[in-house]
Amino acid sequence: MMYEEDRSEFYNRLEKFRTDWANQDGFMTYFEQQWIRNDLYKQWVRSFQEAMFRHMELNMFIESFHNQLKTVYLQRRRNRRMDGLIFLLISKVHKRIVRRIKAETNRVGRMGPLALARRERQMKAEAYTLEQLDMMIELKEDGHQIQSFTDINIYYMVTSDDTFITSCTCADFDITQRACKHIYAIKISEPELSVRLPHHSSIANVLEDDVNSNLTEETAVIINNNTSVTPVVQQTHSECIQVILRQMQHHVTDVSFSSADDQSLENIIEQLTSIQQQLNNIGNIGTNRQLQTQLSRRRRN
């Protein structure tokens, strides 16, 4: 019963369970009071859970976060005040999570588990050429029909319009509610489309939404009891340049170039060299940095 994904079938199984164990009065009284009454069954039956959480059968994520909270933030000190814990969650934990999500969204630093899973799905779709994808994909009235990557007799429906790809009928999307390899295949075949998933907004979904947001995006925060909203200060120009350079570096690392790209790459190198010269001609190097540079040059000489 616990793993039943169809609600009507669950109710049938529940009635059968009641009939089979009707002679066990004590057990059935306990079962009804502790597991069924007041809609308690909705907390443990899979068919009543949100699709993206149905694969989570244990509380390991909660235990992991609790361990980080005690070890990293509280440093194993006993906390006796609720207001102190709330302040810690708002002032440090929340900011760190948001900062990590933005870094993963902009492909800065180490990839998290969700980003790794997303990249794995993208690579499965990228393993096919455009000609192969064109043979697997067929345009329909309400989206695209795509052939299964593993069984040529199975087809999935990817819902899309003129602008966005929103869902897929495969089991992976149904369970995780995140962009699957079929959605990424459609995006490769139709690069003008963007991925926008219709499920609820959460921290996990920030990594899955196909948006071009970056670290300069303003974020409103509530800072006092008057609920006055203050925007976060935008990045400086130098920080923006650093973010762009990191993104370019990630792209160059992930993409393989052919001889047909030589001319374009030569033009890019010329432009980057010109930009480097422009950067060298502006700004001032701090005194300490100048001294370190001079010392290193003397050591080399």
Give, for 131, the enclosing helix (H) or strand (E).
Answer: helix 130-136
Closest residue by Cα to residue 181 from 238, 137, 215: 137
Which residues, 6 or more positions from 8, have their beta carbon under 8 angstroms from its beta carbon? none
Task: Say which residue the tokens 């907390």 belong to.
Answer: 43
> What is the radius of gyration, based on Cα positions, of the chain?
27
pLDDT of 118 strictly over 50: yes
Q: Which residue has the tokens 């489309």?
A: 193
| pLDDT tens, residue by residue, 177-230 | 888 999 999 999 988 888 887 654 444 444 444 333 433 443 433 334 444 443
> Cα separation of 137 and 84, whole Å?
55
pTM (predicted TM-score)? 0.47
Rounded CA-CA distance 92/73 in Å is 8
Amino acid in the structure at residue 16: K
pLDDT in tens, 58-88: 778 788 888 988 898 888 888 778 888 898 8
Residue 147 and residue 133 in contact, taking contact as beta carbons nearer than 8 Å: no
The Cα–Cα gap between 74 and 67 comes to: 10
Write out the H or E segment, with its range, that includes residue 229: strand 229-231
Q: What is the pLDDT of residue 186?
A: 93
Q: What is the pLDDT of residues 124-157, one digit of tens each?
A: 999 999 999 999 999 888 899 999 998 889 999 9
Gap between the Cα atoms of 131 and 287, Å rounded: 58
The per-residue b/e assignment along 194-211, b for 16 or more CB within 10 angstroms, e otherwise, is ebbbebeeeebbbbbeee
